[in-house]
């Protein structure tokens, strides 16, 4: 394979990850300077920041006419979040749950997953579908923000921001972080989409396959870093909450934006219904079952998740151009 494609793809991912990280740190520092509550920061800036790579990649892919990358990135990221991200975190530390709204959030994740699959059954995603998904996002955010404000006032839930390491303190520094991050993200998205399309062409596979695997894996790295850090610091609820929240955001926000801005309706490859949609809803159901039964996700389950992800990737590439 042309090494230029590797350099373009890897370089784009580096731009995305560094840009997203700088933007989140700068935005959190700015919010703290204006005395925004830690809970509001956690629910908005940090949660949104871990999904920034997926968002900018989906925007680039939708606007440049690569719908397979749009769907593939969202579906593949959700699968990677459960099997890879949760699995890696559970291997480090058994994941348990607090009394916060994880059960409800898991139901929201299942509902969003089913909604996306039902929409895709029509064969394409239109701008109207995008509006519906974004409407669902608005409803979820309003409910979550209201509950968070009530909990914060009652001092029932005040998650500290100290675990977000390396926050700049000087206005000049966090302004530089925000500007640099905002510049790096679109550059990274352009490089990643170009590299992914070139790689799909060279390997002779559908672009959807690259979106489901390489692209999804690369754009899920922020969730992996956040979740592994949370598990290492024994913040198990943060770890599981990051995965569930990111999956909801990927479907409602990122897929919603992708469908809304795409010049044409996003066609849905039939191959998604035989492998990827079943795996996505199956993984969502598995992590939801753990949450509802309040059973820790331990090392054995973590290794099983990782093995399942490896098997999924093998089957995905064996299918090749079957999409």
Write the DSSP assignment of 159-179 as a string of letters: --STTS-----SHHHHHHHHH
What one-character DSSP code corresponds to residue 308? H
Q: Using CA of residue 228, residue 309, residue 298, residue 54, what is the dihedral sign? A: positive
Q: What are phi and psi of 161, to 5 degrees?
A: -100, 5
Exposure on the CB side of residue 34, measured as CA atoms within 13 A: 9
Instruction: Specify whether the CB–CB gap between 207 and 66 falls below 8 A.
Output: yes
Q: Kindly state the tokens that stand for 236.
A: 């198990």
Give dist(CA 40, CA 288) in Å, integer.
25
Domain 46-159+204-319 bears CATH identifier 1.20.1420.30 = yes
Give dist(CA 320, CA 200) in Å, integer.
10
Residue in the block written with tokens 């300077």: 33
pLDDT one-digit tens code per residue, 241-257: 878 888 998 999 999 99
pLDDT tens by residue, the chain, 323 residues: 567 777 877 887 788 778 777 776 777 777 677 766 554 555 556 556 667 777 888 888 888 888 888 899 899 999 999 999 999 989 988 888 765 578 888 999 999 999 999 999 999 999 999 999 999 999 988 887 776 666 555 544 444 444 445 667 788 888 888 888 878 877 887 787 777 778 777 777 778 888 888 888 877 877 777 777 767 766 666 678 878 888 998 999 999 999 999 988 999 988 899 999 999 999 999 999 999 988 889 999 999 999 999 999 999 988 865 66
Give dist(CA 235, CA 228) in Å, integer.
10
Give dist(CA 62, CA 16) in Å, integer.
17
């Amino acid at each position: 394979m042309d090494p230029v494609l590797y350099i373009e793809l890897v370089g784009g991912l580096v731009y995305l990850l560094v840009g997203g990280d700088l933007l989140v740190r700068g935005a959190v520092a700015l919010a703290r300077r204006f005395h925004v509550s830690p809970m509001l920061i956690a629910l908005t800036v940090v949660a949104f920041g871990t999904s920034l790579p997926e968002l900018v990649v989906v925007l680039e892919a939708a606007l440049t006419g690569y719908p397979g990358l749009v769907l593939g990135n969202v579906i593949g990221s959700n699968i990677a979040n459960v099997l890879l991200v949760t699995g890696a975190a559970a291997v480090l530390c058994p994941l348990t749950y607090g009394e916060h709204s994880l059960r409800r959030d898991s139901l929201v994740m299942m509902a969003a997953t089913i909604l996306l699959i039902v929409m895709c059954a029509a064969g394409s995603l239109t701008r109207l579908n995008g509006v519906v998904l974004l409407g669902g996002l608005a409803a979820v955010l309003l409910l979550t923000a209201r509950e968070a404000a009530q909990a914060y006032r009652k001092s029932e839930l005040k998650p500290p921001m100290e675990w977000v390491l390396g926050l700049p303190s000087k206005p000049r520094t966090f302004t530089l972080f925000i500007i640099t991050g905002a510049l790096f993200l679109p550059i990274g998205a352009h490089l990643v989409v170009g590299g992914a399309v070139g790689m799909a062409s060279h390997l002779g596979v559908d672009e959807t396959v690259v979106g489901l695997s390489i692209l999804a894996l690369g754009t899920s790295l922020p969730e992996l870093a956040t979740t592994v850090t949370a598990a290492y610091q024994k913040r198990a609820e943060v770890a599981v909450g990051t995965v569930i929240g990111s999956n909801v955001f990927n479907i409602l926000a990122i897929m919603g934006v992708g469908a809304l801005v795409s010049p044409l309706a996003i066609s849905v490859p039939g191959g998604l219904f035989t492998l990827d949609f079943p795996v996505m809803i199956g993984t969502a159901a598995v992590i939801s079952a753990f949450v509802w039964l309040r059973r820790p996700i331990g090392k054995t389950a973590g290794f099983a998740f990782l093995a399942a992800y490896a098997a999924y990737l093998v089957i995905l590439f064996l299918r090749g151009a079957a999409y």
